[in-house]
Amino acid sequence: MSIEIYNTKTGQKSPLVTLEEGKIKLYVCGITAYDYCHIGHARSALVFDMIVRYLRYRGYEVTFIRNFTDIDDKIIKRAQEQNTTCEELSNRFITMFHEDMASLGILPPTIEPKATEHLPEIIGLIEDLIRKGLAYQVAADVYFRVTGFNGYGSLSGRNLDEMQAGARVSINEKKEHPMDFALWKGSKPGEPTWESPWGPGRPGWHIECSAMSRKYLGNSFDIHGGGKDLIFPHHENEMAQSEGATGEEFVKYWMHHGFVTIKEEKMSKSLGNFLTIREVIARFAPEALRLFIFSTHYRNPLDYSEAALLDAVAGLNRLYTCLAEIEQLPATGNDQAASAIPKTDREKIETIAERFRKAMDNDFNSAQALGHLFEGVKIINKIRQHLPGKPASLDLQLLKQGAETTRDMANTLGLLTENPTLYLQKEQGKILKTLSLTPEEIENAITERTTARETKNWTLADEIRDQLLAKGIELKDGPAGTAWQVKLP
């Protein structure tokens, strides 16, 4: 079975057939570096991280390009506000971006090109377009002639007449057609400037991606991705530029992910309703954010809330707890004993990987894939719970294999990458730091309670236990004494 991918351009899923056998060339639009990244950016990065990881797991050699836009109107404006240069500003936020990506455990792309480092390629592409009659110069600017490219609108499913009827397009008298867009902008005093055949200026927003993808991936490549908000105009314009210049099909599969919303409203800088990645990571484990993001299909909207993150934390704890419990199992069992595991359960465990792959092959349906992992965990837990004192070796082996498969599959999503026991300890440690209690105080209270229990003073014993619980410490009475742990969300 092959992987099926939903292609924005065709509006349907189709089997992934790569240009070159076993290889995938992927270009993703990265950030415009002028501010901290928010959860929406995290979703974009995580979705494509998952896609890259999964494609590699499925045997593809993936060349992954993710660019930085380090020159544009917003950067110029913000730099002026902060009384700094565009270069300093964009470099600062690129560094922040890298820190955020590292904290989220996102694999670095093969290449991360910047617009400002590709001026020769950009200028060359614009010259190609002018030569082909697809671009024209007006004063210091160069515009793309949308009426000269007859596929214009085919990606976003629009046509030029409809878009003009929208009336939100401002009329610029210099342009031949209201929808024509800038390839090159003559610079105003004080703005970053590069020399060009059309005078000093800077590139328009869309041309950089056409130039850089062409340089690193060629005229034609397999997958181009980004957020849904990039479909129009950004990707529509990129496609027009690239196909106009080369005459070849620019991209085979266009992939666009949905937005992160807050209270059902799109998270965006202009609305001011965003949380930065660092704010969220300060409170929740990076893998919890991952689990949250992957708990819905990448094309659907995803509503951020604290409650939703806490759900994800609980889910992640369930997964890690299962793995930790399986690690505690004895290494050897009874070689003679027959398996005590029902056939249906055995089959469920044995087919975890197969079912996981089937879900992921279906347009990266991580929500369904995770459902299979949770179902597997449920069965593994059930079997483990009912294991006899001297379990059959066969059954121990099945449980261990099931846990290992679960971990391997989760790894292809960047989940369950930590040692289970250490992860759980670390999470508890993080919470303990926020509590007004030291381990010594807890131990002392337990000693006091143990004495009370020995004299069957249940009232006092329960009181001590309740007081600790109110502070977030759970006690576990066992044969070997009383252990404590921090209450996880």
Partner RNA sequence: GGCGGCGUAGCCAAGUGGUAAGGCAGUGGUCUGCAAAACCAUUAUUCAGCGGUUCAAAUCCGCUCGCCGCCUCCA
Which residues 231-250 are close enough to bind RNA by CB under 7 A?
231-234
> Which residue from 434, 437, 428 is spatially nearest to 487, judged by alpha carbons?
428
CB of 214 to RNA, least distance (A): 19
SS3 255: strand
CB of 307 to RNA, least distance (A): 6
Helix axes 39-57, 86-103, angle to 10 degrees: 60
Does residue 15 bind RNA (CB under 7 A)?
Answer: no
CB of 397 to RNA, least distance (A): 19
**Size of the residue set binding RNA (CB under 7 A):** 91
Q: Of 19-27, 39-47, 89-97, 335-343, which part binds RNA (CB under 7 A)?
A: 39-47
SS3 28: strand
**Distance (Å, rounded) from C-alpha 295 to C-alpha 289?**
10
Does residue 265 bind RNA (CB under 7 A)?
Answer: yes
Q: How many CB atoms lie within 10 A of CB 297?
A: 17
Helix (H) or strand (E) holding 256: strand 251-257
Helix (H) or strand (E) holding 299: none
Interface of this chain with RNA, residues 62 to 121, rule: CB under 7 A? 69, 72-74
- Pick the binder of RNA from 321, 334, 393, 417 (CB under 7 A): 321
CB-nearer residue toward RNA: 370 or 415: 370
- Pick the binder of RNA from 58, 132, 283, 453 (CB under 7 A): 453
> Which residue from 369, 375, 365 is spatially nearest to 356, judged by alpha carbons?
369
Q: Of 78-86, 113-121, 411-419, 453-461, which part binds RNA (CB under 7 A)?
A: 453-461
SS3 75: helix
Query: Cβ(238)–Cβ(256) under 8 Å?
Result: no
CB of 16 to RNA, least distance (A): 17
- Pick the binder of RNA from 44, 241, 242, 406 (CB under 7 A): 44
- Pick the binder of RNA from 116, 261, 405, 428 (CB under 7 A): 261
- Pick the binder of RNA from 87, 99, 191, 325 (CB under 7 A): 325
In this structure, is the dihedral angle defined by the CA atoms of residues 98, 103, 104 and 109, taken in order, positive or negative? positive
CB of 267 to RNA, least distance (A): 4
Helix (H) or strand (E) holding 453: helix 439-454
CB of 21 to RNA, least distance (A): 28
Interface of this chain with RNA, residues 358 to 377, rule: CB under 7 A? 359, 362, 365, 367-368, 370-372, 374-375, 377
Interface of this chain with RNA, residues 288 to 317, rule: CB under 7 A? 295-297, 300-303, 307-308, 310-311, 314-315, 317
- Write down the H helix ranges in 67-226: 73-81, 86-103, 119-131, 160-165, 207-217
Query: Cβ(41)–Cβ(98) under 8 Å?
Result: no
CB of 1 to RNA, least distance (A): 14
CB-nearer residue toward RNA: 18 or 369: 369
**Distance (Å, rounded) from C-alpha 313 to C-alpha 222?**
35
- Write down the H helix ranges in 111-261: 119-131, 160-165, 207-217, 236-246
Q: Of 116-124, 195-203, 329-337, 456-464, which part binds RNA (CB under 7 A)?
A: 456-464
Does residue 166 bind RNA (CB under 7 A)?
Answer: yes
In this structure, is the dihedral angle defined by the CA atoms of residues 415, 421, 426 and 428, taken in order, positive or negative? positive
CB of 373 to RNA, least distance (A): 7
Does residue 425 bind RNA (CB under 7 A)?
Answer: no
For residue 77, which phi and psi values (nearest 5 degrees)?
Answer: -65, -50
CB of 325 to RNA, least distance (A): 6
Query: Cβ(395)–Cβ(336) under 8 Å?
Result: no
- Which residue has tokens 């490219």? 149
Q: Of 25-33, 105-113, 407-415, 440-448, which part binds RNA (CB under 7 A)?
A: 25-33
Does residue 405 bind RNA (CB under 7 A)?
Answer: no
Q: Of 49-57, 123-131, 268-276, 400-408, which part binds RNA (CB under 7 A)?
A: 268-276
**Distance (Å, rounded) from C-alpha 182 to C-alpha 175?**
9
Task: Indicate the residue type of 86.
Answer: C
Quote the tokens at residue 234.
Answer: 């950004």
CB of 22 to RNA, least distance (A): 27
For residue 15, which phi and psi values (nearest 5 degrees)?
Answer: -65, 140
- Pick the binder of RNA from 83, 270, 434, 436 (CB under 7 A): 270
Q: How many CB atoms lie within 10 A of CB 360?
A: 25
Q: Of 188-196, 328-336, 357-365, 395-403, which part binds RNA (CB under 7 A)?
A: 357-365
- Pick the binder of RNA from 131, 318, 390, 426 (CB under 7 A): 318
